[in-house]
Amino acid sequence: MRSSSTRSHALSGTVSAPGDKSISHRAMIFGAMATGTTHVTGLLEGADILSTASVMQALGAKIMKTGVGAYQVEGCGEGGLQTPDVNLDCGNAGTGVRLIMGACAGYKLRATYTGDASLSSRPMNRILDPLREMGAIATAQEGGRLPVTLESDGDLKPLTYTPPVASAQIKSAVLLAAVNTKGVTTITEPIPTRDHTENMLRAFGATIEVTQKNGADVIRLDGPVRLKGTKVNVPGDPSSAAFIIVAALITPGSDVLVENVMMNPTRTGLFDCLTEMGGHVRPTYFRKSGGEVIADIHVKSSKLHGITVPPARAASMIDEYPILAVAASVAKGTTIMDDIAELRVKESDRIKATVALLANNGVDVTELENGIKVVGGEVSGGGLVTTHHDHRIAMSALILGLVADAPVTIDDGAMIATSFPTFFDVMTGLGANISIDKTA
Ligand code: S3P
């Protein structure tokens, strides 16, 4: 599904951010593990979440759609997740597969996990190593890739662990295994990562203790814990709102309100960067929804200038570098995004993919050993962007086209549905010149 975008007039209007992907995955997984019923509203009905939901059904949960974004999950509770009859196809979802493997390791079951070409190229040992230390048996393809078969006797040992990289997925996989493990599992995080697992485990009735030691967060879970079904109202995804916000900032004359954006500080690093760059990005009307603080964000097009992004901010904006690089393309001066080696193991190598996307469209960009340098200026456009099955590369390219002299085209826009299925409608509704070529 080839798509393209061209220079656009001012964007204007009020839109809502789609449901948060991280919280939507967790709602399906925790609901399936719990005793009783979980009622979910505002779920992101993206392909990644639908993959996770169907995997949790294969493991024994009953999941029913009751309305738009509304789902009822009957958890497996006492009986526990069960060995599935089929391989568990997690699609494109790194969060899905890694959290589900962690959850399953706590039960007596055996399952084989598969995924699409992008997911099958991503490293799984970062999850499998700690799960093996806890007692699970895992076999993977070379380099720890999918398909992975993971088996557990449901009687793991608790673990004291410091993940080798700042990753909420690693932390979450270990915590989910610890839910059904007798004893205290402790995770030390020198750099905090998104804390949705901790927050949601509490909402499902678990006690999680977080203390500070030598500047690091120490997270303790004393298992086993019986999770109880609850209500989850999924807030809007700041990582999806990011595309709307940057589009409005860089398209001259724009004035846009994005409602229902989660403002959890482990997720808002991009907003800090855009504000430092001179962007009018003003959160208003703070309130609480589903245990998280949300706000409406008012954005007006602004003259941006380049910045050096502090590496310590990376965990709070790990998915936002490609779209920040787009903002940097029209900012005055140089933007440096460094110490972001983790981007190489996302849905694609996002350092290479972002550099190629900008370079193909006339932007002055350099690939650093572990980062990206962009010097802002005019964007010629006219390039064809290879998205490598990566939704965030696809959306970033289409936003760049809104300020380019000639159209920016992407090889495939289908993957956008993994995280932001309403992207085309939302953006064209605001006045963006984005089109889908259904014949290509
Ligand atoms: C996620 C964590 C991040 C992020 C991903 C979602 C999560 O990955 O890139 O899109 O929901 O826990 P890492 O924690 O591995 O950096």
Read off the pLDDT of residues 358-373 as tens digits, 9 standing for 90 and up: 999 999 999 999 999 9
Judge whether residue 7 has pLDDT over 90.
yes
Read off the pLDDT of residues 330-348 as tens digits, 9 standing for 90 and up: 999 999 999 999 999 999 9
* CATH 3.65.10.10 residue ranges for the chain: 2-19+235-437, 21-233
Binding site feature residues for 3-phosphoshikimate: 21-22, 26, 167, 169, 319, 346
Of 274, 272, 265, which Cα lies nearest the Cα of 246?
A: 274
Read off the pLDDT of residues 34-53 as tens digits, 9 standing for 90 and up: 999 999 999 999 999 999 99
Read off the pLDDT of residues 11-33 as tens digits, 9 standing for 90 and up: 999 999 999 999 999 999 999 99
Atom of ligand 1 minimally distant from the CA of 342: 16
172 in contact with ligand 1, CB cutoff 6 A: yes
- Mean of all residue pLDDT scores within the chain: 97
Query: pTM (2 decimals)?
Result: 0.97
3-state secondary structure 74-89: ECCHHHCCCCCCCCEE
430 in contact with ligand 1, CB cutoff 6 A: no
Judge whether residue 440 has pLDDT over 80.
no
**Residue 135 pLDDT:** 98
Catalytic, 48? Answer no
Question: What is the fold, at CATH topology level, of the domain defined by 2-19+235-437?
Answer: UDP-n-acetylglucosamine1-carboxyvinyl-transferase; Chain (3.65.10)
Read off the pLDDT of residues 375-398 as tens digits, 9 standing for 90 and up: 999 999 999 999 999 999 999 999
How many angstroms is it from 10 CA to the middle of ligand 1? 33
DSSP H or E run through 145: strand 145-153
d(CA 301, CA 351) in angstroms, rounded, equals 26
Of 234, 225, 232, which Cα lies nearest the Cα of 33?
A: 225
168 in contact with ligand 1, CB cutoff 6 A: yes
Q: Is 60 left (phi over 0), alpha (psi -120 to 50) or beta?
A: left
Q: Of residues 48, 319, 364, 425, which has the active-site annotation?
A: 319
169 in contact with ligand 1, CB cutoff 6 A: yes
CATH of the structural domain 21-233, one choice from 3.65.10.10, 3.40.30.10, 3.30.420.300, 3.40.50.970: 3.65.10.10
